[in-house]
A and B are shown apart, each in its own frame.
Chain A
Amino acid sequence: MRKVLMGNHAAAVGVKLARTDVVSAYPITPQTQIIEMLNDLGESGQFTGRFIKVESEHSAMAACLGSATVGARSFTATSSQGLAYMHEMLHWVSGARLPIVMVDVNRAMGAPWILWTDQTDSLSQRDTGWMQFYCSSNQEILDSVLMAYRVAEQVLIPAMVVYDGFTLSHTYEPVDVPDQKLVDEFLPKLENAYALRPDTAEAFSALPSPKEYYRLKARLDHDMTRALGVFEEAGKRFEEIFGRRYRLIEPYRCEDADTILVVSGAPASTAQAAVDDLRKQGCRAGLLKMRAFRPFPAEALRDFVRPGTRLAVVDRNYSQGHHGIFCEEIKSALFPLKSRPEVYGFIAGLGGGDITPELLKEIWKEADEGRADASTANWMEDAR
């Protein structure tokens, strides 16, 4: 049934439909409504998961670490500094191979005080061993929570569902809320063979030798790469059951495109409209939507690009003194190719600045006409 939901409520409904066993979280804008709604659903008996109250985000992730260790499907949500405060626990959770799902509602990092969105919070957690999936609509938020649990539990790697603060989190639009029966079919009860049982004596994450540690990390890396295929399979199954298909990268009108906008999150939706406008003007424009950041779909990207096409990568995030973070990753993925497309990096919309169709069209033209500097990040904003 379709219902008008804000992004945060779409996430909460997804967590409920996933029959999540344990939720632990600490409030932070713009995430808080997810947890508030789960509490309301708990009070009215519609959500039966246990809620663990904690005094910080670090403790929230620690609580999820404990619940996931005993095989409970676990969830938390945070934003910005709250995510940063979890940082050391994020490494621990992926190292312990616990399939926790977390929502990060993108909020720019302070200082200065800032409420609005950019992706620097989630992308700063690049090397923590978590998967990261980016959403462009409220429907994708609900669906991505279900997809994330399925993939995480198959490869035993935690997953982050990421979306734009306010632009999605607080914006209302119709969302198709699937039937519980169909969700149960897509996402069966978690059976983690490595869960801690009261009747067995096992030590978890105890001190290994360097050789064992090295091999455990190699296995994690191998499974992270394997997750690319698992995601595609989950996407196919999702489509069979719910009629919507999700892929790691999603091209739009790229067949004969000279220059392709590469965008993630909510601006990827706006970019679709920008590409339609450019096409109407006779420009050969396309869009590549990036859904996955970890695992990074490097091979899919190499198969997708054609020599002679230009990529205009729009990053709502940055690595100070260097590039936008998606741009860096894309350049690195394309480096093994003998004949590489030109890649231009653009920084836009930091701290919630609007990424409008006008701005996206300007970015496209800067790249298409070769005016942008390929050697550095190009900073562009909509002056309104």
Chain B
Amino acid sequence: MLELRFHGRGGQGTVLAAKMLADVVLRSGKGECMAIPEFGVERRGAPVLAYARISDGPILLRTRIYEPDVVVVMDTAAAPSERVMDGLKPGGTILVNTEHDSAELAKTWPGFKVIAVPARQIALKHGLGTPAAPVLNTAVIGALCAALDIAGEEDLEAAIRGAVPIKIEENIAAALEAFAFIAERRPHAATRV
């Protein structure tokens, strides 16, 4: 079982990111999946948490995730670095939306695998959201699929096509660009637990 925690802000599509990950896993036929919002009142701009589980067999646990294998940081300002590490398993993976590079960020979180992806930049390049409120969930999911070897480009594209209501081609392009960005830097790829 692979357990993920997403840190984002209300309005960024954090919950939808977790849901799209479940879509991709279902589409890939590689296993079972579950996407869980951190239950609360949604407020635009406020820090938001979501969780996802991926497993080869049935998923029975219906709880929050306290000790994730992977933490996804959609917005560094919404998640102080100590909160990112909270409960993260030793050697766990941190995938961060940032324009800094992985090696530089690794110093912030020693003992973890840090993967940087410029999801904001990619999203804006494809016209998703505005500089103040970029919609970067599809780029993040593209990066995750490559980083965790969850699914290939075909399943990613098909899942996004079925999941996003508007700007479908732009979202697919963003996801595939982020996928390629990570795939080119494979040494960082995490292995499935």
**What are 13 A-B residue pairs whose CB atoms fall within 8 Å in the complex?**
A3-B26, A4-B26, A4-B35, A115-B39, A116-B39, A170-B36, A170-B39, A172-B35, A173-B22, A173-B32, A267-B62, A270-B60, A273-B60
Task: Report Cα–Cα, A352/B62, bound state, in Å.
Answer: 12
* CB closest residue in chain A, given B62: A266
A359-380 interface (Cβ within 8 A of B): none
Interface centre among A172, A173, A266 (most CB of B within 10 A): A172
- CB-CB under 8 A from B22, the residues of chain A are 4, 172-174
Task: Report Cα–Cα, A172/B37, bound state, in Å.
Answer: 9
Given the known inter-chain contacts A272-B60, A356-B63, please indicate yes or no for A172 contacting B39, CB distance below 8 A.
no
Task: Report Cα–Cα, A352/B19, bound state, in Å.
Answer: 21
Q: Are the CB atoms of A172 and B60 closer together than 8 Å?
A: no
Task: Report Cα–Cα, A136/B39, bound state, in Å.
Answer: 18
Q: Confirm or deny: B187 has a beta carbon within 8 angstroms of a beta carbon on chain A.
A: no
A225-280 interface (Cβ within 8 A of B): 266-267, 269-270, 272-273, 276
Not counting A166-B37, A171-B37, A172-B36, a sample of 12 additional A-B residue pairs whose C-beta atoms are within 8 angstroms of each other reads: A3-B26, A4-B19, A4-B33, A6-B19, A115-B39, A115-B41, A116-B39, A136-B62, A170-B39, A173-B59, A356-B66, A357-B63
A72-118 interface (Cβ within 8 A of B): 115-116
Task: Report Cα–Cα, A282/B40, bound state, in Å.
Answer: 38
Q: Are the CB atoms of B39 and A173 closer together than 8 Å?
A: no
Q: When each residue 56-97 of chain B gets 1 if its CB lies under 8 Å from chain A and 0 otherwise, what string results?
A: 000111111010000000000000000000000000000000
State the Cβ distance, B166 to closest chain A Cβ, in Å.
15
* Minimum-distance CB pairs A-B, first 5: A166-B39, A273-B60, A172-B35, A266-B62, A173-B34
Q: Are the CB atoms of A4 and B37 closer together than 8 Å?
A: no
Q: Confirm or deny: B23 has a beta carbon within 8 angstroms of a beta carbon on chain A.
A: yes
Task: Report Cα–Cα, A356/B65, bound state, in Å.
Answer: 10
Task: Report Cα–Cα, A172/B16, bound state, in Å.
Answer: 10
Q: Are the CB atoms of B39 and A2 closer together than 8 Å?
A: no
Q: Confirm or deny: A13 has a beta carbon within 8 angstroms of a beta carbon on chain B.
A: no
Interface centre among B18, B33, B63 (most CB of A within 10 A): B63
Task: Report Cα–Cα, A356/B67, bound state, in Å.
Answer: 12
B interface residues, how many (CB within 8 angstroms): 21
Q: Which residues of A contact B (CB under 8 A)?
A: 2-4, 6, 115-116, 136, 164-168, 170-174, 266-267, 269-270, 272-273, 276, 352, 354-357, 384
- CB-CB under 8 A from B23, the residues of chain A are 4
- CB-CB under 8 A from A115, the residues of chain B are 39-41
Q: Are the CB atoms of B35 and A270 closer together than 8 Å?
A: no
State the Cβ distance, A37 to closest chain B Cβ, in Å.
14
Q: Are the CB atoms of A168 and B19 closer together than 8 Å?
A: no
Q: Are the CB atoms of A174 and B26 closer together than 8 Å?
A: yes
Task: Report Cα–Cα, A8/B50, bound state, in Å.
Answer: 17
- CB-CB under 8 A from A354, the residues of chain B are 63-64
* CB closest residue in chain A, given B32: A174
Q: When each residue 4-40 of chain B gets 1 if its CB lies under 8 Å from chain A and 0 otherwise, what string results?
A: 0000000000000011001100100000111111011
Interface centre among A170, A173, A276, A356 (most CB of B within 10 A): A173
* CB closest residue in chain B, given A116: B39
Task: Report Cα–Cα, A159/B37, bound state, in Å.
Answer: 29
- CB-CB under 8 A from A267, the residues of chain B are 62
State the Cβ distance, A13 to closest chain B Cβ, in Å.
15
Task: Report Cα–Cα, A276/B61, bound state, in Å.
Answer: 12
Given the known inter-chain contacts A172-B19, A174-B32, please indicate yes or no for A270 contacting B37, CB distance below 8 A.
no
Q: Are the CB atoms of A168 and B62 closer together than 8 Å?
A: yes
B80-119 interface (Cβ within 8 A of A): none
Task: Report Cα–Cα, A219/B77, bound state, in Å.
Answer: 64
